Amino acid sequence: MAVHGDLHRTFIQIVLSRKILPLTEFEELVRYCQRKFDVPLNPEGNLQALAKFVSDVNNRLSPFHMRLKSGVSEEDGSHFYALVNIRDDALSKCATKFSGNEMKFFKKLVLKIAESNCGRITSTAALNIVYEDGDSGLQIRTAQALIDRMVSLGCLTVEEGNVSLAPLTLLELEPYLREQLGDAIPQCDVCKQICIKASAVIIPLS
């Protein structure tokens, strides 16, 4: 039991430095830690054994309000695992770094992206949020600087002039999006995972 405890602690320490891992790298990391502590290796491709390992790790993470969650890329259908803070989501963490007006802008941006039917909005549309309601408290240049900071923090991605939520942010904000949008939030008909960029995804691993 002590060996398994050391294995899990080592695994968690490595994942903490990565936050998000493609499935193949995640499996390789599991097997690396098992070899390191002379624990029988999970058979390659055995999703049941992998799910058991993830469940054991999540039991250790639970007191720290963290959890390993599987996700599916809406871009190419690839699977990944991410370490998610289930108490301090992206909004909570950002609230300690940004002003009230900046957080108001970010929340509107998140919802606009989720409601866009394609999981992204143009940079121009994102900046135009400052004009909504007539009093956002931000200027265009301030909003642009905020988006740039969100990108550097890994909360947003900007590609070809379009702004979207980073995969980890989408996982962390799932409860918030469901609370705000209810049944209007797009989700896969098969696995029920939020899919704001696509109409369907491959069934996730857990």
pLDDT in tens, 137-155: 789 999 999 999 999 988 8
Widest pairwise Cα distance in the chain: 63
Total length of the chain? 206
CATH of domain 90-184: 1.10.10.10
Task: Output the pLDDT for position 117.
Answer: 86
Domain residue ranges of the chain, discontinuous segments joined by + = 2-64, 90-184
Query: Which secondary-structure segment (H or E) carries 21?
Result: strand 20-22
Specify the pTM: 0.77
